[in-house]
Amino acid sequence: MLKITQICFTTMKILLAFDFDNTIIDDNSDTWIVRCAPEKKLPIELQDSYEKGFWTEFMGRVFQYLGDEGVREDEMKRTVTSMPFTPGMVELLNFISKNKDKFDCIIISDSNSVFIDWILEAASFHDVFDKVFTNPAAFDGSGHLTVKNYHAHSCNRCPKNLCKNVVLVEFIDKQLQQGVNYTQIVYVGDGGNDLCPVTFLKKNDVAMPRKGYALQKTLSRMSQNLEPMECCVVAWSSGVEIISHLQFLIKE
68 is in an annotated binding site: no
Residue 29 near residue 55 (C-beta atoms within 8 A) = no
30 is in an annotated binding site: yes
Enumerate residues 6+ apart whose C-beta is below 8 A from 248: none
Q: How many Å apart are CA 109 and CA 116, to the nearest integer? A: 9
Catalytic pick among 19, 104, 194, 205:
19
127 catalytic residue (yes or no): no
CA-closest candidate to residue 84, choices 28, 46, 19: 28
104 is in an annotated binding site: no
Q: How many Å apart are CA 220 and CA 7, to the nearest integer? A: 45
140 is in an annotated binding site: no
Per-residue buried b or exposed e for 89-101, using 16+ beta carbons within 10 Å of the residue's own CB:
beebbebbeeeee
68 catalytic residue (yes or no): no
190 is in an annotated binding site: yes
Q: How many Å apart are CA 171 and CA 131, to the nearest integer? A: 9
Q: How many Å apart are CA 216 and CA 192, to the nearest integer? A: 9
The catalytic residue positions are 19, 21
What are the binding residues?
Answer: 19, 21, 30, 110, 190
What are the binding residues for substrate?
Answer: 30, 110
What are the binding residues for Mg(2+)?
Answer: 19, 21, 190
